[in-house]
Amino acid sequence: MLTIGQLAAYAGVTARAVRHYHQIGLLPEPERDASGYRRYGATAAVSLIKIRTLADAGTPLSEIGQMLEADASTFAEAVQRIDGRLRDEIERLETSRKQIAQLTAGDNLALPPEVISYLDRLREIGVSERIVDGERDGWILVAARWPDHIREVMAGKHAQLDDPQMVRLYRVLSEISEDDPPDGLLEEAADIMAGLAEQAYTSGGINVGGMAYDDLAFDLLDALVLETDPRAQRLVDLMRERGWTGWNRLERLAEPPGQPLS
Amino acid sequence: MLTIGQLAAYAGVTARAVRHYHQIGLLPEPERDASGYRRYGATAAVSLIKIRTLADAGTPLSEIGQMLEADASTFAEAVQRIDGRLRDEIERLETSRKQIAQLTAGDNLALPPEVISYLDRLREIGVSERIVDGERDGWILVAARWPDHIREVMAGKHAQLDDPQMVRLYRVLSEISEDDPPDGLLEEAADIMAGLAEQAYTSGGINVGGMAYDDLAFDLLDALVLETDPRAQRLVDLMRERGWTGWNRLERLAEPPGQPLS
DNA sequence: TGGAGGGTTGACGCTACGTCAAGGTCAAGC
DNA sequence: GCTTGACCTTGACGTAGCGTCAACCCTCCA
């Protein structure tokens, strides 16, 4: 007669596992000896080995009991089910591995390559790291909201960088984001933005289907800028003076500036 | 400002998940509005998306916090660790799939093919299903104890089946295992066994290195027989009268039968 | 003004055990 | 007979990542 430890050792499991199988009714509780110890016979050893065989093959404990009593066809059916689950799980993990491989290449954090190259180009232009970080976070929001439009949008943004005015704007914004920016820069930035907005307005700007102007994401983008640097509010105000409202999605004010709206 | 449900929807998770991230300190608790609702800004949305990106790639939540603050090399290191764990997990599941594929082929329950063919041969010979089941359980114990010797052992057992006496023994045992066996069969079985034992004894029998005669497994095998059918005890007694002790591991008695041992 | 559809905290559930805690038991050596 | 170490007992909490009640409060819309 075996003690629980001997039985467990024979089957290559821990005593705790055996007790667990008792608890869930998978292995019947054996007789106790005079001192209360569990005492096992050979059939228990056989049962335990069968249980471990199925468990090692990926069978959930909750199904092992039925499988041990099942006929051949029911058994085969169960095996199919379990194999299918294993396959799904493997597939999931393979997907995870692919995704994590994408993350290895720097701090891109799930951003598509188009965005990464745009950020790199900003750095080349001399845009401050602080601004680039802000851009990155913004694009994270955009990529989450419109994963299928991101390439189109980025193509447009890349083109915009060919305009020297846009480059100038980014550089001015970089200076503004410094701890102690020179005076007058805010106004200069607002002037450039207003010019670019005018240009975009007449040429039609970047219009991508599926990106509705009243989308929550635009509000989030605007909010993100203000959360990142509250001084941005000043720029918004200056733009309003110049006849534009909003930030990531500039719109021409209906009323001329200086006039009360109501 | 977003409610928890809106934030969750934006990132493609459930509100419960967001609360969970608060609980474990992965995402900071936001301000509450007048009615106690959590109110989130854009940075929270960015953080949440970053968290999900890493989590979807298989990063444990407990490590995501540090990863988001890590520099590039620390980050890459962590990615390596996680990828390694994913690889291990996939390997484990692949192994499970292979094992479960083995189980598909009938009721073999992880027995090596040599044992399966032996059991099949027993059935061909006309051995009762009850005896075959008992044999199967016995071989499960043997295979668990000596997985590396099972082929050797089975070769010997296959050879034994070429002896008509052994075939006769199995058939007699089959009859005995019936609910109402004829008289005298036990004696016949004992006679055959004694003869076979004598034969094995003079020829040296099956000796496989690594299988010590005092092994616990032999006790288990003997116990298994008695647990499966207590009437086997009668056969053990008859064998003792014929000068043999044990069952799966017969040994010649030192004293002649009928003499007191002390 | 009522009801639907949000939100709040608190708690248990899931898997397959690992790991204490606080004892009682057994076998061996002195 | 005593100690010591290894083993047994039950009970309970911990793990990962949330899902799912329960019981209640808040908001918005017809």
For residue B262, pLDDT beyond 60: no
B128 HSE (CA, 13 A, CB side): 14
Mean predicted confidence (pLDDT) in B66-84: 90
Mean predicted confidence (pLDDT) in B131-157: 93
For residue B242, pLDDT beyond 90: yes
pLDDT of the residue at A261 = 41
Six-digit token pair at A96?
Answer: 């995870």
Is B35 part of a structural domain of the chain? yes
pLDDT of the residue at B93 = 95
Same domain membership, residue A80 and residue A163: no
For chain B, the average pLDDT equals 90
Same domain membership, residue A241 and residue A115: yes
Label residue A73 by pLDDT band (50, 70, 90). Answer: confident
**More confident call, B246 vs A225:** A225
pLDDT of the residue at B193 = 93
Is A258 part of a structural domain of the chain? no
> Which chain B residues 86-105 have CB under 7 A to strand D?
none
Terminal Cα-to-Cα distance of chain B (whole angstroms): 95
Same domain membership, residue A127 and residue A55: no
Mean predicted confidence (pLDDT) in B214-243: 92
For residue A45, pLDDT beyond 90: yes
Mean predicted confidence (pLDDT) in B83-109: 87
pLDDT of the residue at B117 = 92
Closest CA to the C1' of D27: that residue is B35
Residue type, B213: Y
Residue A22, domain CATH: 1.10.1660.10
| A173-202 residues touching B, CB cutoff 8 A | none
Dihedral in degrees, nearest 10, Cα atoms B215, B220, B222, B226? 170
**B4 to A138, B13, B34, B255: CA distances (angstroms):** 20, 10, 15, 86
Q: Among the three residues A86, A102, A118, which one is the final residue of a domain in this structure?
A: A102
Exposure string of A228-241, with b = 16+ CB inside 10 Å and e = fewer, is beeebeebbebbee
Nearest CA in chain B to A53: B110
pLDDT of the residue at A213 = 73
Of the candidates B87, B90, B106, the beta carbon closest to that of A72 is on B106
pLDDT of the residue at B212 = 76
Residue type, B84: G
Q: Is the CB of B61 under 7 A from strand D?
A: yes
DSSP A205: -
Q: Are residues B7 and B42 in contact, defined by beta-carbon separation less than 8 angstroms?
A: no
Same domain membership, residue A112 and residue A208: yes
Is A23 part of a structural domain of the chain? yes
Q: How many domains does chain A have?
A: 2
Q: Testing the interface with A: which of B2, B3, B39, B46 to mutate, by most A Cβ within 10 A?
A: B46
Q: Which residues contact A148 (CB under 8 A, 6 or more apart)?
A: A210
pLDDT of the residue at A255 = 56
Contact check, Cβ <8 Å, A59/B100: yes
pLDDT of the residue at A260 = 45
Is A262 part of a structural domain of the chain? no
| B138-157 residues touching A, CB cutoff 8 A | 140-141, 144-145
Q: How far is the CA of A16 from the C1' of C13 (A)?
A: 21
Distance CA A80, CA A127 (A): 57
**More confident call, B206 vs B14:** B14
For residue A262, pLDDT beyond 60: no
Distance CA B204, CA A206 (A): 93
Same domain membership, residue A234 and residue A203: yes
Contact check, Cβ <8 Å, A141/B54: no
Q: Among the three residues B102, B127, B143, which one is the final residue of a domain in this structure?
A: B102
* Partner A contacted by B42 (CB < 8 A): yes
pLDDT of the residue at B192 = 95
Q: Is the CB of A13 under 7 A from strand C?
A: yes
Is B93 part of a structural domain of the chain? yes
Of the candidates A45, A100, A223, the beta carbon closest to that of B220 is on A45
Terminal Cα-to-Cα distance of chain A (whole angstroms): 94
Is A259 part of a structural domain of the chain? no
pLDDT in tens, A165-188: 999 999 999 999 988 888 889 999
Q: Is the CB of A6 under 7 A from strand D?
A: yes
Q: How far is the CA of B20 from the C1' of D19 (A)?
A: 12
Handedness of CA B42, B75, A93, A148 (dihedral sign): positive
Which of B10, B39, B41, B7 shows the shortest CA–CA distance to A225? B41
**B86 contacts in chain A (CB < 8 Å):** 93, 96-97, 100
Label residue A62 by pLDDT band (50, 70, 90). Answer: very high
Label residue A212 by pLDDT band (50, 70, 90). Answer: confident
A95 HSE (CA, 13 A, CB side): 9
Tell me whether residue A88 is exposed, middle or buried, using C-beta atoms within 10 angstroms of its C-beta: 0 to 12, 13 to 18, 19 or more: exposed
Mean predicted confidence (pLDDT) in B41-62: 95
A14 HSE (CA, 13 A, CB side): 3
**More confident call, A254 vs B76:** B76
Same domain membership, residue A248 and residue A118: yes
DSSP A254: S
For residue B210, pLDDT beyond 90: no
Q: Among the three residues B53, B72, B102, which one is the final residue of a domain in this structure?
A: B102
Mean predicted confidence (pLDDT) in B99-112: 78
pLDDT in tens, B158-189: 999 999 999 999 999 999 998 888 888 999 99
A159: number of Cβ within 10 Å: 11
Which of B39, B28, B33 shows the shortest CA–CA distance to B1? B39
Q: Is the CB of B62 under 7 A from strand D?
A: yes
For residue A256, pLDDT beyond 70: no
**B57 contacts in chain A (CB < 8 Å):** 96, 99-100, 102-103
DSSP-derived 3-state class of residue B2: strand
Same domain membership, residue A223 and residue A201: yes
DSSP A248: S
Q: Are residues B45 and A142 in contact, defined by beta-carbon separation less than 8 angstroms?
A: no
Same domain membership, residue A155 and residue A237: yes
Tell me whether residue B122 is exposed, middle or buried, using C-beta atoms within 10 angstroms of its C-beta: 0 to 12, 13 to 18, 19 or more: buried
**More confident call, A208 vs B196:** B196
**More confident call, B227 vs A248:** B227
Six-digit token pair at A89?
Answer: 């799980």
Most distant pair of Cα atoms in chain B: their distance? 98
Percentage of chain A beyond pLDDT 70 is 94
pLDDT in tens, B106-121: 567 778 989 999 999 9
Six-digit token pair at B113?
Answer: 């093919």
* Partner A contacted by B221 (CB < 8 A): yes
Q: Are residues B110 and B103 in contact, defined by beta-carbon separation less than 8 angstroms?
A: yes
Q: Are residues B65 and B25 in contact, defined by beta-carbon separation less than 8 angstroms?
A: yes
Is B261 part of a structural domain of the chain? no
Contact check, Cβ <8 Å, A86/B100: yes
Tokens 């704007």 correspond to what residue?
A: A169
Same domain membership, residue A147 and residue A46: no
Is A197 part of a structural domain of the chain? yes
Q: How far is the CA of A4 from the C1' of D1 (A)?
A: 30
Same domain membership, residue B82 and residue B13: yes
Of the candidates B53, B58, B93, the beta carbon closest to that of A90 is on B93
Same domain membership, residue B43 and residue B167: no
* Partner B contacted by A45 (CB < 8 A): yes
pLDDT in tens, A106-165: 567 778 989 999 999 999 999 999 999 999 999 999 999 999 999 999 999 999 999 999
pLDDT of the residue at A252 = 84
Same domain membership, residue A165 and residue A78: no
For residue B105, pLDDT beyond 70: no
* Owning domain of residue B226: 108-252
Distance CA A71, CA A66 (A): 10
Label residue B92 by pLDDT band (50, 70, 90). Answer: very high
Q: Is the CB of A194 under 7 A from strand C?
A: no
* Partner A contacted by B60 (CB < 8 A): no
